Amino acid sequence: MSPDYESDLARVRAICMAYPEAAEKLSHGSPAFFIEKGKVYAYVWHNHHNDGHTAVMVKTSGREEQAMLVEMDPDFYHVPPYLGPSGWIGMELNGDATDWDRIEDRIAISWEMVAPRRLLEAGGR
């Protein structure tokens, strides 16, 4: 779990809210980031159901990519409960030790997966 959840959440929030039409809501007690009137592209879970993880959940292209990411770096990526069967991936937040470049890249990919064409054509972020 992240030693500084509030700081990590603030950083994830800044990344997620930089996208066009980004919004935030609570979903099952956890922050969820979505495109207004659209789909969620990231969640932040902190010890969700006492799982010991503080993580950002983002979409992948599917189970194959999800499995590849976990195999590539099982200390960073994990298959989250509930969202995992739909191809979502969890990325560990560990305060200063967090790989923020990977977090930003995967959030960008997830946002692009749910963004309507008009936002993508407008140049996205």
Domain encompassing residue 53: 5-121
Residue 49 has pLDDT above 80, yes or no: no
Give the model confidence (pLDDT) of 14-27 as tens digits. Answer: 999 999 999 999 99
Q: What is the mean pLDDT of residues 59-88?
A: 95
CATH number at residue 19: 3.90.1150.30
Q: In what order do the strands lie in the sheet with 40-46?
A: 22-27, 30-35, 40-46, 54-58, 89-92, 77-78
pLDDT greater than 80 at residue 77: yes
Q: Which two tokens stand for residue 42?
A: 């990231």
Indicate the pTM of the whole model.
0.92
Q: Give, for 92, the enclosing helix (H) or strand (E).
A: strand 89-92
What is the average per-residue pLDDT within 111-125? 83
Q: Name the residue with higher pLDDT: 125 or 122.
A: 122
For residues 87-107, average pLDDT: 93
Nearest 5°: phi and psi at 42? -160, 145
Structurally, the chain folds into a number of domains equal to: 1
